Structures are given as structure tokens and as C-alpha cells.
Amino acid sequence: MFEYAPAPESRSVVDIKPSYGLFVDGKFVDPTDGGSFKSINPASEEVLAEIAEAGSEDVDRAVRAAREAYERVWGPMPGRDRAKYLFRIARIIQERSRELAVLESLDNGKPIKESRDVDVPLVAAHFFYYAGWADKLEHAGFGANPRPLGVAAQVIPWNFPLLMLAWKIAPALAAGNTVVLKPAETTPLTALLFAEICQQADLPAGVVNIVTGAGETGRALVEHPGVDKVAFTGSTEVGKAIARSVAGTRKKLTLELGGKAANIVFDDAPIDQAVEGIVNGIFFNQGHVCCAGSRLLVQENVADRVLESLKRRMAQLRVGDPLDKNTDIGAINSSAQLARIRELSEAGAAEGAERWSPPCELPDRGFWFAPTIFTGVTQAHRIAREEIFGPVLSVLTFRTPAEAVEKANNTPYGLSAGIWTDKGSRILWMADRLRAGVVWANTFNKFDPTSPFGGYKESGYGREGGRHGLEAYLNV
Amino acid sequence: MTATATSARSDLSELGRSETALRTFLHGLPGVDQVGAEQRAAQLGTRSIKTTAKAEAIDLAIRMVDLTTLEGADTPGKVRALAAKALRPDPADPSCPHVGAVCVYPAMVPYVAEVLRGSGVHLASVATAFPSGQAPLEVKLADTRAAVAAGADEIDMVINRGAFLAGRYSEVYDEIVATKEACGDAHLKVILETGELATYDNVRRASWLAMLAGGDFIKTSTGKVPVAATPPVTLVMLEAVRDFRAATGRQVGVKPAGGIKTTKDAIKYLVMVNETVGPDWLDPDWFRFGASSLLNDLLMQRTKLTTGVYAGPDYFTLD
């Protein structure tokens, strides 16, 4: 047996301060009422830092700073000058990529190979991409002189902390808006490091403000009368509450919410690559992915073969220390999320689906969940309907392409879908009928800043990425 | 992970009797998505193998080397020196294992045989009008018999790529069967020359064809065309031997050859073997590297691990 020796990435590349204030008007400041919370490493439950909790007064201060910066500096600044700042930020992100990757893995629990090879490169790519648009907005297809909206309130989730920050901040700044961003309470550290990067890039004070805190901070931010735009990525439940709270205001809203994507494997699929795609679809980032391929629809005449290959492949997944370069599956982000994954998995077993996990040893401390598949799942099972947001795959079979479409669409969500077949015509036929914002063919979980991303139905509205992503931040 | 016991063993030996049956079977194999296969191979290449794992991997890789020289300029003296090196790759360190085999042209086999006799190092000879295979079947078979008679216990044959690409699968199959017969007790490695097969689908079909016809090993390349072994090609071949054993119960070895020059490359291949077909293939009986300069890099890295310092290239023998 070929045992891989531990290959940990050094955590000494990143310097975590014992405590962090709020980033308002270009400076780190203490919160008015002095509240704070702790951010922990989900792989060890070790406290990483003490984080300031922003109350409504702090949020107000941040929104006013953003307004001031919008009116005096960033709004009037020519696009080519805004571009210079964004290019500079993108380059600093590349230069400090190792530091960002290690910090992301520490705070979030995701494997270093993903933060290093996926998250951080995409973050830099997003800033580079939108930097290029800043002086070309009149050519983006939204009319002659598209204007920014003003101050954007942005609330992001914990699954891709820095990447979601980039998806929000890069287009907003390129279009000429200023922002107040609230990172998730379990993963604020890379956003705070990003604040330091803004200082390093000499970004004018107030253009980017970071307020940390939990749900109440988020509510104060999106309900603040001084914001012109609200952008939220997170759960459908919170998304609905936000939609209600901004209804009837002048605020423009984009929501990127949950998903329950179908990954559809036909009998003529390239099986080995499809299995890779299934694994990547559900086990990438511990399944903490809104567009995760959490429902596998496999044609019945190849189901046994695909499942056999899938189980063999799952036995190769290495679960453990997120900082080890050979780790495939890291820690679940929080005990609350772990409890939810456990509850839904138990419901799956109780409702009669067959549960399987490869033999795998989980660490004693921290939050862990073994990669799991459920076979014999029907559309009526909770694990086929509710978003689990963890490394749990529900396997269903189908007989005809029409049945595959029907099952894939039979969900309140509509964020993404995958199709695996060697037949090009079938890919197009399926893509026409699938009600999902993104349809991947013979691949899964592929992201690129040039490609718009967003959902149908309860997966939200608005698009992020590409030329389309600018529309959310322009008065068109 | 071994093949699951649930898959029914099939008897595929009848397939070779008809062109139609062969074609239907080979074209019914699942396709290979090029992008996906290349991505998976690249992903496996990012594994980080350090310290004890690296030391074990280096020794295993040394034991898997088919130390090769296939030049018109080969002389009895040169191949004897190569054989001596195969036995004791690092004269300064007796704990260094010997390589898997020495691989030479048929004319050089007798000189190598003298040195290797009774050592446990195998003696491989290329045959069947290597590298082009452009000779009448009788000549190819005579070439094979001569190499075996001179002392080779492994034969590296080339397939008829012209016939394969033209879709004359029976012709390729029959040639392999005939060569296998000419080998007698010698092991047969079947070189697919994947650099000329153009697609991964073809690599998969040729792998199955060679295994169906009785090949003991499938090998990527002759090393004589511009594209030799690549990680994705080797991945597709590993998947083929894995699926073949699951279907028939017979295990077939894999040998990437050509272009593997560094320890880093070799370890990437071992990781691929480990995670694609598992520990059953992590043995010189089932996986080999066709290489020449690779050995010295393995020795240099081995010395670095044991002594902590890099020795210059002058401390390792050139051959």
C-alpha cells in the first residue's frame, strides 16, 4: 500500500491578529457598542480571532462612509482610473495568494488544494476581468452612458468567502458603486485580509467597507435606507426575507440562493469521466456549494456500473486536515451545518433510502462528515427535495430522456444541472428543457469570470459574472 | 481496492474469431472524454509526496525501471555496462534495489544475458520489426523467436498501427496471438504506440484488443515517435486493465515508456496507479517504466533523501 506522508502547507505564511475591528472609511475601527464574536477553525475548533460585531450604528457609519466616497471620489472618477485600482488589487491578490489560500482553509475548513487551485485564482481572475470593463461600460450593451447605482449593500455566505466577495465587489466597483459588505459570521477572516489589501492598493477610503457580524448586522445593512442596491448570496429562506424587506423601496435587488441540481448520466456517457464529474459535483468543497450536483439521475441500464465505479472512486477520497495538500475533503464549516447534514441524512435513512459511505476515519476534534451516497431515493424523499449543503448525494434512476427532464425540473430550485452523454444533439435537447440557470455538459462546477451565473425559480434572480453581471450594478 | 466480486466473470475469448464481433465489442466500450481525462490526470499530478512516502516511492520506481537502450550505436560493451548498472544502480549504496529489467534490441540480448543470468533482473527485448513493425509477419515472428532463444524472458512487440487505424482489428489481433505463441514462456508486452493512435477512444480500444489477444502487459510507446507516454494516455490504459480484470479475472500490466525523465514524473505515475487501479499494480510485475535517464534522477533524489545533500551528476554513472 502506498501511504502518503503528511504534506501540510505551512500556516506561518499568514499572520492572524488576535482581534479585528470593522473596516470603515479606509480604517479598522472598534464597534460603537464593543460587541464581538469568535471565528474558529472548523477542523480543530481552535479560536482563530476575536471579531468585532457591527451594530446598527456601525452599519450606519459604514453606509455614510460609502455614500461620501461614492459622491466625492469613486462616482466621479473616470473608468480608466477605477480600472487601475482594480488591476492593482488583482495583482496583490495574486502576490499574496498563498497567504489568502491558507487563511481561507483555516477559517472555512476547505482543503488547501481547492483554496489554492480554485478559489484564490478565480478571485484574482474576477478582479482582472471586471477591471477590464471599468472604462468600457458604454460598450456593455446597456445604452450610451450607463450610470452606477450608488451604495451597494452586499451580504455573502461562508462556503466561498473570498470568491463570493470578489463576485460582489469587483463588478460593483468597476461600475462605479461603493460597497458595504458583510461576510458570514463563521468566515470573516479573508474579507478582513482583503480590507488590508485595499489599504495596500491605496484604494480611496470608503469605497470598500467591511462590517462583520451575524444575521442582525446583515438585516441592519440591507434595511438601511441609505443603500441603493442589495446583493445577497445565501439560503433561500433568508433571501425571501430580504426580498420582502426591500419590496416597495428604490433598492435594486439580486439574489443567488439555494439549489438541488440534477447531474444526469446517460448510458452512452464517458463513464470514467462522468464518475469524476459526479464526485466533483457533490464532494467539491464538502458539498457546500449552492450549485452542487446533489441529485444524481442515472439511466437505469448503466446504474449498477456507474454506482460500482462511483463507490470505488469514493474510497479514494482523502478526508482530513484541510491544510494537508493531499486532502480532498475538509471540515464541515460549523457545528450548526453539521447538525443539519446529520438531520437530513438520518431522515434519508428513516425514509427508506440505502445509505453508503466508504470506510474513512474522521478526526476527533472539529466538524466532520464522511462522503455519503443514498441509493433507492425517490422524488418524495426529503433528501431529494431539500438542500443538504453537505457531502451527501441522492441517487435516482430514469428510463427515458423525457423522464430525466421531468425529474430534474421537479424542484422549487433551478440553479444548475449537468448532462453526461457522448451525443451532442441530446445535450442541446436537454439544455433547452432544463429549467436551470447553468447547464454543464460533460463537466461540472466549472466557473469563469466571463460566464454569467444565476438561477431560476427559488434559486434567485439576477446574474453574476460576465457582461450580464454588470447589469446588477448599473442604472439601466 | 480490488475489483468487486459482484461483477460476473465473462469469457471474452470468442471475440477474436470474427471481425464483426471484435468491432462491435471495441466500439461498444464507453467513450473517453478528452477534457475530463486530461483534467483527472493533471489533478492526480498535484498530489504532494514527501519524506517517507517519497523514499518508498523512489525505491519502488527504481524496481520498476526497464533500463533501456535502443540505438543503432549500441555495442556489446555498452549493453554490458547497462546490465551491470541494472544489477547495482548505486554502487556506493548496497541498499539500493536493482531495476526491473534491461530492455535492448534482439542482437544485444546474448551480451546482456551473460551479465543478468540468475540475478532476478528480467531481460526484455524489443521484437516484431521494432519500432515501425513494417515487416512481413513471418519476419516479425522469427525476430521474436530469435530474441527468446538468445535469452530474453520478456518481449516488447509493436502492434500494426496501420491495420488498427484502418479498422482491420482481426489482423492486429491475430498478429498479437501469433507473437504470443512465438514467445513461449516469455512475457509479452504489447506496444500500442499511442502517439500514433490520435484519440483516447482508440487508446482504450487498442488496450482491450491487446488484452483480448493475450498480451501480458500493455505499453504506451516505442520512444521513437514524437509523442510518447503521457499521464492521460496512461490513465486510460490503467482504467482498461482495471476494467479488464473486473470482466475476465485476468490481471494485465501497464508500461508507460518514453519521456519520463524525472523522479517527480515517476511519482506522479505511481500516484496514478495507486488511485486508479490500487496496490495490486504497485509492483514491478504489474507496472514498469520504460526509461533510460530516469534512473539517474531517481538515484540522485534517493541520495538526497538519505544524505540530505544533492550529489552532482558526476557521482552517477552514465551509460
pTM: 0.95
From B278, which residue of chain A is nearest by alpha-carbon distance?
A: A1
Among chain B, residues having any CB pair with chain A shorter than 8 Å are 1, 4, 6-7, 30-33, 35-37, 39-40, 46-54, 56-57, 60, 239, 270-271, 274-275, 279, 282
Domain annotation covers residue B312: no
- Average pLDDT over every residue of A58-80: 98
- Assess contact for A297 and A404: CB atoms under 8 A: yes
Looking at the DSSP assignment, which residues form a beta bridge with residue A324? A8
* Smallest Cα distance from A270 to chain B, Å: 5
Residue of A257, A298, A304 lying closest to A281 (CA atoms): A298
Mean pLDDT across chain A: 97
- Average pLDDT over every residue of A17-46: 96
CA dist A94 and B242 (Å) reads: 41
Tens digits of per-residue pLDDT, B209-255?
999 999 999 999 999 999 999 999 999 999 999 999 999 999 999 99
Interface test with B, best of A271, A273, A422 (most B CBs within 10 A): A273
Subunit contact B36:A273, Cβ cutoff 8 A: yes
pLDDT of residue A266 exceeding 60, the answer is yes
Domain annotation covers residue B313: no
A290 annotated active-site: yes
* Smallest Cα distance from B118 to chain A, Å: 28
Contacting residues of A for B270, CB less than 8 Å apart: 2
Residue of B156, B151, B110 lying closest to B133 (CA atoms): B156
Q: In chain B, what percentage of residues exceed pLDDT 70?
A: 97
CA dist A469 and A340 (Å) reads: 32
- Average pLDDT over every residue of A383-404: 98
Domain annotation covers residue B317: no
- Assess contact for B65 and B100: CB atoms under 8 A: yes
- Average pLDDT over every residue of A347-363: 96
Q: What are the distances in angstroms from CA A239 to CA A46, A229, A233, A236? A: 31, 14, 8, 5
Tens digits of per-residue pLDDT, B20-64?
999 999 999 999 999 999 999 999 999 999 999 999 999 999 999
Between chain A and chain B, the number of residue pairs with CB atoms below 8 A apart is 73
Helix (H) or strand (E) holding A173: helix A161-174
* The dihedral formed by the CA atoms of A148, A154, A159 and A162, expressed in degrees to the nearest 10: 60
From B235, which residue of chain A is nearest by alpha-carbon distance?
A: A272
Phi/psi for A419 (5° steps) reads -125, 130
Q: Does A308 touch chain B (CB under 8 A)?
A: yes
**A positions 421-440 inside 8 Å of B (CB):** 422
Q: Which three cell numbers stand for residue B70?
A: 535502443
Subunit contact B49:A5, Cβ cutoff 8 A: yes
Output the 3-class SS for A32-90: CCCCEEEEEECCCCEEEEEEECCCHHHHHHHHHHHHHHHHHHHCCCCHHHHHHHHHHHH
pLDDT at residue A178 in the model = 98
* The dihedral formed by the CA atoms of A370, A375, A380 and A383, expressed in degrees to the nearest 10: 10
* Candidates A53, A104, A256, A458; catalytic one: A256
The per-residue b/e assignment along A312-341, b for 16 or more CB within 10 angstroms, e otherwise, is: bbbeebebbbbbbbbbbbbbbbbeebbebb
- Average pLDDT over every residue of A225-246: 97
Question: Which SS3 state, helix, strand or coil, does residue A474 take?
Answer: strand
Specify the amino acid at residue A37.
F
pLDDT at residue B10 in the model = 77
Q: In chain B, what percentage of residues exceed pLDDT 90?
A: 92
Q: What are the distances in angstroms from CA A132 to CA A137, A476, B34? A: 10, 20, 32
DSSP for B117-162?
TTSS-EEEEE-SSTTT--S-HHHHHHHHHHHHHTT-SEEEEE--HH
CA dist A255 and A453 (Å) reads: 11
Looking at the DSSP assignment, which residues form a beta bridge with residue A148? A474
Range of the domain at B162: 3-307
Local confidence band at A79 (pLDDT 50, 70, 90 cut-offs): very high
Domain annotation covers residue B91: yes
Subunit contact B56:A271, Cβ cutoff 8 A: no
pLDDT at residue B8 in the model = 56
pLDDT at residue B14 in the model = 87
Domain annotation covers residue B315: no
Subunit contact A4:B7, Cβ cutoff 8 A: no
pLDDT at residue B13 in the model = 84
CA dist B95 and B305 (Å) reads: 13
Residue of B153, B178, B173 lying closest to B163 (CA atoms): B173
Q: How far is CA A72 from the centre of its chain?
A: 32
Q: In chain A, what percentage of residues exceed pLDDT 70?
A: 100
* Smallest Cα distance from A23 to chain B, Å: 37
CA dist A48 and A160 (Å) reads: 18
Local confidence band at B315 (pLDDT 50, 70, 90 cut-offs): confident
Tens digits of per-residue pLDDT, A183-204?
999 999 999 999 999 999 999 9
Domain annotation covers residue B68: yes
Residue of A337, A391, A362, A318 lying closest to A113 (CA atoms): A318
- Assess contact for B49 and B107: CB atoms under 8 A: no
Residues 6+ apart with CB under 8 A from B266: B57, B61, B260, B289, B294, B298
* Smallest Cα distance from B266 to chain A, Å: 14
Question: Which SS3 state, helix, strand or coil, does residue A335 take?
Answer: helix
Tens digits of per-residue pLDDT, B143-181?
999 999 999 999 999 999 999 999 999 999 999 999 999
- Average pLDDT over every residue of A379-395: 97
- Average pLDDT over every residue of A135-163: 97
Domain annotation covers residue B262: yes
* Candidates A114, A290, A458, A464; catalytic one: A290
* Smallest Cα distance from A391 to chain B, Å: 20
- Assess contact for B102 and B86: CB atoms under 8 A: yes
Tens digits of per-residue pLDDT, A433-452?
999 999 999 999 999 999 99
Q: Read off the CATH number of the domain in which B83 is found.
A: 3.20.20.70
A256 annotated active-site: yes
pLDDT at residue B11 in the model = 82
Local confidence band at A417 (pLDDT 50, 70, 90 cut-offs): very high
pLDDT of residue A460 exceeding 70, the answer is yes
Q: How many domains does chain B have?
A: 1
Tens digits of per-residue pLDDT, A84-104?
999 999 999 999 999 999 999
Q: Does A145 touch chain B (CB under 8 A)?
A: no
Q: How far is CA B30 from the centre of its chain?
A: 24
Local confidence band at B4 (pLDDT 50, 70, 90 cut-offs): very low
Tens digits of per-residue pLDDT, A283-296?
999 999 999 999 99
The per-residue b/e assignment along B135-169, b for 16 or more CB within 10 angstroms, e otherwise, is: eeeeebbbbbbbbbebbbbbbbbbbbbebbeeebb
Interface test with A, best of B43, B48, B237, B305 (most A CBs within 10 A): B48
Cell 430550485, residue located: A413
> E strands within A128-205?
147-148, 151-155, 178-182
Tens digits of per-residue pLDDT, A12-23?
999 999 999 999
Q: Which three cell numbers stand for residue A315?
A: 474510497
Subunit contact B53:A5, Cβ cutoff 8 A: yes
Domain annotation covers residue B314: no
A315 → closest Cβ in B1, B31, B40: B1
**A positions 210-269 inside 8 Å of B (CB):** 268-269
pLDDT at residue B6 in the model = 42
pLDDT of residue B1 exceeding 50, the answer is no
Subunit contact A117:B50, Cβ cutoff 8 A: no
What value does the CA radius of gyration of chain A take, rounded to a whole number of Å? 22
Q: Which three cell numbers stand for residue B35?
A: 477534457
CA dist A461 and A463 (Å) reads: 7
